[in-house]
Amino acid sequence: MNSVSQYESTIWSSLIMTVAAAAYFFSKVFGAMAAGAPLDPGQIARLGFAVVVILVAVEVAFQVAMTVWCRRQPQTDERDRLIAAKATRNAYYVLITGLFLLIGHLGVQSLTGWAPVLLLDTPTTVIFLVFALVIAEVAQFVSRILYYRRGL
């Protein structure tokens, strides 16, 4: 008996696509940072925009394919809504942790001139903000899957 609902399948696909897109984007950006190359904000913005457009297009195509394959929209109920709420709460904790780390780092850097991890200029700060958002989104998908698998 298939225990994975159509709705849960879409969460798995979103997780895989988000991780793949983020891995591609951040490998390029962090690779350039590690090589000591100066970051070109315009180039990073174009890369990020292209990745988001491709991600959205693939996600929409997958959702349409799933709807056609299953011959109906994914059905949700109170358990799906509770799982979504708890997963969003977990993602919020991850995002807040990331933001506090970034703000703390920026605070130390601006007050003392010393960078605990990495000298954060504006493009680098934006990249780490996006990184925190992506990690929070991944945490949300992983939380959902764990709640579906292990129970609430």
Partner 1 sequence: MITNRIRDLRYAHGQMTQQALAERIGVTRQTINAIEGDKYSPSLEVAFRISAVFEVPLEEVFKFVPAAQIKTS
Residue of 72, 76, 100, 116 that binds partner 1 (CB under 8 A): 76
SS3 state of residue 41: helix
DSSP letter, residue 36 = T
Residue 137 backbone class (left: φ over 0; alpha: ψ -120 to 50; beta: rest): alpha
CB of residue 78 vs partner 1: minimum separation in angstroms? 5
Q: Which stretch binds partner 1 (CB under 8 A): 20-28, 71-79, 99-107, 109-117?
A: 71-79
* Residue closer to partner 1, measured from CB, 1 or 111: 1
Q: Is 75 in the site for partner 1 (CB under 8 A)?
A: yes
User: CA torsion 65→2→91→51, rounded to 10°?
Assistant: -30
Q: Which stretch binds partner 1 (CB under 8 A): 1-9, 48-56, 101-109, 126-134?
A: 1-9
Q: Is 152 in the site for partner 1 (CB under 8 A)?
A: yes
Q: Is 77 in the site for partner 1 (CB under 8 A)?
A: yes
Angle at Cα 127 formed by Cα 125 and Cα 130, nearest 5°?
110
CB of residue 71 vs partner 1: minimum separation in angstroms? 15
List residues binding partner 1 (CB under 8 A): 1, 3-5, 7-8, 75-80, 148, 150-152
